[in-house]
Amino acid sequence: MPSPDTARLPHPGRTSAQRRALDAIGCGQPPRCSPKTLKALLDAGLIEETADEIRRDALGSYRVPFYEMTIPTHMAWCSAVAATDEEMAELEGLV
């Protein structure tokens, strides 16, 4: 039986870390992934850095970037997340 992470893959051809990051970004959450994963998604044009925030702590100031999916990626993500199992199989070319 497939795990919940692999039951539905709205990002075919992406690693599980990239899929989790895209799902988080699609839901408006921080991606919580490695810089390598972010770079791969940025290089593929699936996400873009939209803003950043400067924060301060005891060690000084630091920058916190924010990311969003590009519009075509977000539209495809929404369609895949909303798809039934049969529709998802067709999208992935399994039928």
62-86 pLDDT tens trace? 998 999 999 998 888 887 777 667 7
CA 39 to chain centre: 12
Class of domain 14-90: mainly alpha
Predicted TM-score of the model (pTM): 0.69
Whether residue 47 contacts residue 69, with contact meaning beta carbons closer than 8 Å, is answered with yes
State the pairing for strand pair 47-57/60-69.
antiparallel
Closest CA to 21 of 11, 12, 13: 11
pLDDT of residue 2: 44
| Dist. CA 2–CA 61, nearest whole Å | 44
Sign of CA dihedral 80, 84, 89, 95: negative
6-60 per-position pLDDT tens digit: 445 556 678 889 989 998 998 889 999 999 999 999 999 999 999 889 999 999 9
Structure tokens at 39: 């770079």
Domain ranges of the chain: 14-90
